[in-house]
Amino acid sequence: MAGPNAVHSALQRLSRFFGGLRNHRAAADRANATAGSQPSLDELTGLFDKLNQSVAIADYRSPTIPLIYVNAAFTELTGYAVEDALGCPCGFMLGENLDQPEWHDFKEKIGQGLPTSAAFQCYRKDGTSFLNNVQASAVTDEDGTPLYLIAFLQDATRLGARATRTDWSEDRISKIVAGANVILYEATAPDLTFSFVSPYAESVLGFPLSEWTKPSFWADHIHPEDRERAVEEHKKAALAGREHEFEYRMISRRGTIVWMRHLTTVDDRRRREENSDQVRGVIVDVTEQKILEDRFRQREHWKSMVLENAPDAILTVGSELRIQSFNAAAEKVFGWPRDEIVGQTINLLVPEEQRNTHTAMAMAYMEKDERIARTMGDWRLLQGRRRDGSLFPIMVRLGHSEIGSQSLVTAIARDMTDVDRRNRELSDLSQQLALQLELAENANKAKTQFLGTMSHELRTPLNAIIGFAELLESETFGPLGAERYRHYAGDIRTSGQHLLSIINEILDLSRIEAGRVDLTIEDVAIDTAVNNAVDAIRPMIQKAGLTVATDLPADLPALTADQRSVHQILLNLLSNAAKFTPIGGFISVSARIADVGSAVDLFVEDNGRGIPAHILPSLGTPFQKASSAHDSSNPGTGLGLAISRGLAEQMDGSLKIESSEGEWTRITVTLPCALQSDRAGPA
């Protein structure tokens, strides 16, 4: 890289093309004539000698805009020596962040010859990041084409080190005075009455330069809350003859607040030899920087709040696997206070027997080993170690990042102790439920077997009772004598038949629950099945004073079902409808192709008493009746719907009950069918 001689040579080259910039010089001369006499070259050089602000100059004519000058303050701010920086593109400290929108806007404004300022996330030579506040001006030719860029760099939290002396020509100094985005001044101490201010002052506060040179202008326009402190601070430093730097707020002509960073220097030689009370300095508008600093602080505060209030433990690990940050959740999870664990190795949080393996894998992860990164980059269930030495289950996920040359790993850890305990409890509960379910199923099987056995045992004597009752009722072997005996025999027969139907229903239900229903799946014509069921139940419907109607489209496909089961389902549903519909009511049976799948919906509807809403959810389970248990007007066991649902499900169908109490009931039976496309088969 080039050394100091190269800097001098570069500045000499700059001075040659500065000669054509007469318009800038004329503007500067006019501005200085208004504000007072311009300081000499020696005076301005002395001022820049003491300016502790980083300065850089770049050649805008080159595509890369290389740096051709940096001062010592630049080196102190960034860590890059003069020979390191010269020749580098002006954005080289952005690292991989060249896509920052602020950087593109910055270059665009400079390319238009406009002064501009912006803040960038930059990196020093040692890899540490800092918020770089840059105020820059472009020196242009007569056509407005940028020739070179002068930039003042500031750390977002402090100014740079004292500027180094450079061999600047008077022409270059005057152009910087006229175009730099800082206020250069000369004034009397200790009241700071300006005898000279640079033209930029007018754009900062909006007051003409002639106003700036009036007595007490400076103090009068300081913010009331800062005035006493700023004036007193300046007065003490000026009387003591020492350089001082301070910040305060001023009020612009528009009434807005402008933050100022103020550096005043005292010429000790003139002060001693000439008894001069003149001071010189630089005032920098740092309002944007203050706004950026405030936003930066808010962002950092927000990130800190997020980390501190995160429910998971979050910690960062740097080189040598030493912990750099430890949030509140991590303190709670691992039992380590932050001030004790930060700086210690991560192995303190790892079981002793796993530390060697963990160290090897962690170092490989830090070095971006792809195989290890795939393993450790996802959530993993591990064991953690608390401060008291106890071990606990923990879910960990790692993330890798780099800040400059520093490699960092962020670990998110989640204590799984409670989850592990709940999982064990859930496993125990599942085992208990499985055992209880097995016991219930065994009990249900035993109940079904008992009912089936008892039903068979009851049917034999019951058939004999019904047969003998029929013989007595018909007086087959001779008259019984009194007429009432024949009626008694009829009652015995009727009761026996009713009891037999109940036993048959119990047998049907037990076979369904045991899965022992013999089904013959075949094509069942819907109109035939419905008409047969209606004809079978018609005497009961007529006796109840009801009307029945059917609505069966001609193009309905056949059901794929067991014919006897379909007939039994329809008989059960029609019988229930007849029982619960008052005289004069109607019953309808209809069908249509179901909305989903290859199936047909069969509807049995009535305008009877309906079903109470609280009974609907349980209706269709064994022994659950649609009417009250104490209502004897409609006898029955409540098995009809349960049998119908069971038979429908045995045929891969379903049964749904809908009702409005006091108005209507609709039962939908959905059964598979053979659609035409299914029946046709492949062509």
pLDDT in tens, 253-306: 999 999 999 988 876 666 666 666 788 889 999 998 888 888 888 888 888 888
Angle, CA 617 vertex, CA 616 and CA 619 arms, to 5°: 60
Encoded tokens for 595:
């909305």
Percent of the chain past pLDDT 90, that is, above it, reads 28
In angstroms, what CA-CA distances link 244 with 51, 196, 454, 584? 11, 19, 111, 109
The pLDDT value given to residue 173: 53
The pLDDT value given to residue 221: 95
Angle, CA 6 vertex, CA 3 and CA 9 arms, to 5°: 155
Cβ neighbours, 10 Å, residue 614: 8
pLDDT band at 498 (very low <50, low <70, confident <90, very high): confident
Alpha-carbon gap, residue 642 to 645, rounded angstroms: 5
Checking if the pLDDT of 118 tops 80, the result is yes
Average pLDDT over the chain, rounded to whole?
79
pLDDT band at 162 (very low <50, low <70, confident <90, very high): very low
The pLDDT value given to residue 97: 73
Which carries the bigger pLDDT value, residue 453 or residue 54?
A: 54
In angstroms, what CA-CA distances link 302 with 144, 298, 328, 411? 44, 6, 15, 19
Alpha-carbon gap, residue 590 to 604, rounded angstroms: 7
Which tens digits make up the pLDDT trace of 646-675?
889 989 999 999 998 889 999 999 999 976
The pLDDT value given to residue 573: 92
Checking if the pLDDT of 446 tops 80, the result is no
Which tens digits make up the pLDDT trace of 197-253?
888 899 999 999 999 999 999 999 999 999 999 999 998 888 887 888 899 999 999
Which has the closest alpha carbon to 221: 242, 192, 196?
192
Which tens digits make up the pLDDT trace of 309-323?
888 999 999 878 899
Mean pLDDT of 1-27: 36
pLDDT band at 12 (very low <50, low <70, confident <90, very high): very low
Q: Which residues contact 229 (CB under 8 A, 6 or more apart)?
A: 248
Checking if the pLDDT of 82 tops 50, the result is yes
Tokens 């740096």 identify what position?
Answer: 67
The pLDDT value given to residue 54: 84
The pLDDT value given to residue 270: 63
The pLDDT value given to residue 654: 93
Instruction: Note whether 548 and 534 are within 8 A (CB).
Output: yes
Instruction: Note whether 195 and 204 are within 8 A (CB).
Output: no
Mean pLDDT of 487-491: 83
Which tens digits make up the pLDDT trace of 585-641?
999 999 999 987 789 999 999 998 888 888 777 675 665 555 544 454 555 556 778
Give residue 88's identity as a one-letter amino acid code: C
The pLDDT value given to residue 6: 36
The pLDDT value given to residue 25: 37
Residue 120: phi and psi, rounded to 5, are: -125, 150
Encoded tokens for 79:
């860590």
Alpha-carbon gap, residue 265 to 277, rounded angstroms: 11
The pLDDT value given to residue 623: 57
Give residue 356's identity as a one-letter amino acid code: N
Beta bridge partners of 600: 593, 671
Checking if the pLDDT of 45 tops 70, the result is no
Mean pLDDT of 463-469: 80
The pLDDT value given to residue 2: 37
pLDDT band at 451 (very low <50, low <70, confident <90, very high): low
The pLDDT value given to residue 534: 92
Mean pLDDT of 365-377: 72
Which carries the bigger pLDDT value, residue 525 or residue 9?
A: 525
Q: In what order do the strands lie in the sheet with 654-660?
A: 547-551, 586-593, 599-606, 664-672, 654-660
Which carries the bigger pLDDT value, residue 348 or residue 622?
A: 348
pLDDT band at 391 (very low <50, low <70, confident <90, very high): very high
Checking if the pLDDT of 520 tops 50, the result is yes
Q: Where do the domains of the chain lie, and which CATH numbers do they carry?
A: 1-180 (3.30.450.20), 182-309 (3.30.450.20), 324-403 (3.30.450.20), 420-514 (1.10.287), 521-679 (3.30.565.10)
Alpha-carbon gap, residue 238 to 481, rounded angstroms: 146
The pLDDT value given to residue 87: 92
Does an H or E element contain 576, and which?
helix 563-579
Instruction: Note whether 462 and 499 are within 8 A (CB).
Output: yes
Which tens digits make up the pLDDT trace of 214-227?
999 999 999 999 99
- Considering 367-376, 523-532, 595-604, the range whose residues carry the highest mean pLDDT is 523-532
- Considering 185-189, 353-357, 588-592, the range whose residues carry the highest mean pLDDT is 588-592
Does an H or E element contain 232, and which?
helix 224-239
Alpha-carbon gap, residue 347 to 356, rounded angstroms: 9
Ranges 110-114, 299-303, 379-383, 560-564: which has the least confidence: 110-114
Q: Which residues contact 476 (CB under 8 A, 6 or more apart)?
A: none
Burial 77-108 (b: 16+ CB within 10 A, else e): bbbbebebbbbbebbbbbbeeeebebbeebbe
The pLDDT value given to residue 668: 94
